[in-house]
Chain A
């Protein structure tokens, strides 16, 4: 079992992360991944770029805690979460979640759970540059609902 959490301004390469996670582990039967990328539109306005701020220390702690919760619920072998900070432009990658497991059901579920909780619990904030000026992105009720459905 290995857990990797990184907060960085540099881009990431999913193929390298998956190669690292697989190593030569023949017990892995499934790898599920998610990549979040910057859209050029939000709330009906075009977005030129966005800046991501976070709470160093708490960020890593909260993501590790989310992964621990996922491991309590599903058979997870390894998990990698990378979240970028700083200024990003449309098409840029923001976040990567990769989960390995013996079977796909656990890998899919754990990957989605980690992403849903990251959206609502990990201390990151986005500020967008739009044609109307800079604005902080508001939290979405849909994200809270996505995280809450796992409580049922």
Chain B
């Protein structure tokens, strides 16, 4: 638990990945949102496709919209989702 983060997926990404959330061990050399994205994309398949750099997805860290260089540490809640379409 000490070195894990919670990762949430919403809408199309939740369906494509087949899960709404997971606990992920934070690799020792990962300290940013970009690092988390690259770790997930390295799983290959739909992960590599949907989370490729330059794809139109959004992310949040601890429920605030985040960018590639946003810091991520153990215990954080990270979320990946498509561009929003409410209203």
Given contact pairs A83-B87, A138-B85, a sample of 6 additional A-B residue pairs in the complex whose CB atoms are under 8 Å apart? A52-B86, A54-B86, A58-B63, A123-B81, A123-B86, A139-B84
Which residues in B have their C-beta under 8 angstroms from that of A124?
84-87
A-B contact pairs, 14 of them (CB 8 A): A55-B63, A58-B60, A58-B63, A58-B64, A94-B86, A95-B87, A119-B87, A124-B86, A124-B87, A125-B11, A125-B82, A125-B84, A136-B11, A136-B85
User: Quick check: A125 and B87 within 8 Å, CB to CB?
Assistant: no
User: Quick check: B60 and A125 within 8 Å, CB to CB?
Assistant: no
Residues of B bordering A, CB below 8 Å: 8, 10-12, 56, 60, 63-65, 79, 81-87
**Which residue of A53, A83, A115, A123 is within 8 Å of B60 (Cβ)?**
A123
**Which residue of B63, B64, B86 is within 8 Å of A83 (Cβ)?**
B86
**Which residue of B12, B56, B64, B65 is within 8 Å of A136 (Cβ)?**
B12
The answer to the question of A99 belonging to the interface, with a C-beta cut-off of 8 Å to chain B, is: no
Q: Which of A120-152 contact B (CB under 8 A)?
A: 120-127, 136-140, 143
Q: How far is the CA of A139 from the CA of B84 in the complex (A)?
A: 6
User: Quick check: B85 and A125 within 8 Å, CB to CB?
Assistant: yes
User: Quick check: A126 and B85 within 8 Å, CB to CB?
Assistant: yes
User: Quick check: A123 and B83 within 8 Å, CB to CB?
Assistant: no
By secondary structure, the A interface counts as mixed
Q: How far is the CA of A58 from the CA of B63 in the complex (A)?
A: 5
The answer to the question of A61 belonging to the interface, with a C-beta cut-off of 8 Å to chain B, is: yes
Pairs A-B, 9 closest by C-beta atoms: A124-B86, A139-B83, A125-B11, A58-B63, A119-B87, A137-B85, A136-B12, A126-B85, A118-B87
Which residues in A have their C-beta under 8 angstroms from that of B84?
119-125, 139
Q: How far is the CA of A42 from the CA of B20 in the complex (A)?
A: 27
Which residues in A have their C-beta under 8 angstroms from that of B56?
139
Q: How far is the CA of A139 from the CA of B55 in the complex (A)?
A: 13
